[in-house]
Amino acid sequence: MENKIKKMPKHVAIIMDGNGRWALKQGLARLEGHRVGVNRSEEIIDCAQEMRKNGICFETIGQISFLPKEVYETIVRVKKSTQGGEKMTLILALSYGSRDEILRAIKQTVLEVKNGKIAHEAIDETFFANCLDTKGIPDPDLVIRTSGEHRISNFLLWQLAYAELFFTDCFWPDFTENHFKNAIEEYQLRERRYGLTSKQIEGTHQK
């Protein structure tokens, strides 16, 4: 079997779903579920990084300029102060929808063609990917969604083309380090094909 260290995902995307339903099940206000969900996020980040909140570069995707002014300014300040973080990049999707992201990328592409900055023949996947919010960010290797929902809900529709999907029934506030490690272990057992067959992959490895 291929060395598990080599099969560690470099980019894990998590749809942290079920905060409100968790709170209602506990007889609590929905807001309390989101508070607990934030705490759970910090624990999973520590587990993924095996560190103590050092060396994290904070980034966002989405139209953060649409957020309240004080929230926007705080985000910009935190992003600037963490630019030197090299251990891990934490990316939050805020005011984000993948269809909107793709539509904005199409409009940008059309504008650049119209202004003569690029010929339409030169437009390829790499060019288009660089028009998305995730420019410079590798596509996710693994996507985890909590709460039992088996869909990606307008999240990274372009970027998830070849990602491995892992669904769990537990709500996000109940998602522990062990759940995270189990998702990683299952990922390591999967054969990533990127649209190829197993036979084609074997042929590629033999060359």
Residue 111, in any domain of the structure: no
The pTM (predicted TM-score) of the whole model is: 0.84
Q: Determine contact, residues 165/151, Cβ cutoff 8 Å.
A: no
Q: Is 49 a domain residue?
A: yes
107: pLDDT strictly greater than 90: yes
Residue 123 inside a domain? The answer is no
Cβ within 8 Å of residue 16, ≥6 positions away: 37, 40, 41, 146, 172, 175
CA 149 to CA 167: how far, in whole Å?
7
Position 121 in a domain: no
pLDDT band with cut points at 50, 70 and 90 for residue 6? low
CA 203 to CA 207: how far, in whole Å?
A: 7
Q: What is the mean pLDDT of residues 97-105?
A: 98
13 closest CA partner among 123, 181, 159, 135: 159
pLDDT band for position 119 (50/70/90)? Answer: very high
**Mean pLDDT of the residues in the chain:** 88
| Residue 1, in any domain of the structure | no
More confident residue, 172 or 41: 172
* pLDDT tens-digit readout, 34-86: 888 888 877 777 777 657 456 889 899 999 999 889 888 988 988 888 888 88
Residue 1 has pLDDT above 50, yes or no: no
Average pLDDT of span 15-44: 87
User: What is the domain-level CATH number for residue 89?
Assistant: 3.40.1180.10
- Average pLDDT on 183-205 reads 81
Residue 118 within a domain: no
What's the pLDDT at 30?
A: 87
Q: How many domains does the chain have?
A: 1
Q: Which domain holds residue 54?
A: 12-96+133-206
Strands 56-61 and 88-93: parallel
Alpha helices, DSSP H only, in 56-176? 69-81, 98-114, 125-129
Q: Confirm if 53 and 88 have CB atoms less than 8 A apart.
A: no
Pairwise CA distance, residues 151 & 137, whole Å: 22
Residues 149-181 as b or e (16 or more Cβ within 10 Å = b): eeebeebbeebbeebbbbbbeebbbbbeeebbe
Mean pLDDT of 95-113: 97
Amino acid 2: pLDDT: 52
What would the mean pLDDT of 102-110 be, rounded to a whole number? 97
Residue 21 has pLDDT above 60, yes or no: yes
Instruction: Say which residue the tokens 């904005």 belong to.
Output: 104
What's the average model confidence in pLDDT over 140-169?
Answer: 96
Q: Is 174 part of a structural domain of the chain?
A: yes
Residue 120 lies in a domain: no
SS3 150: coil
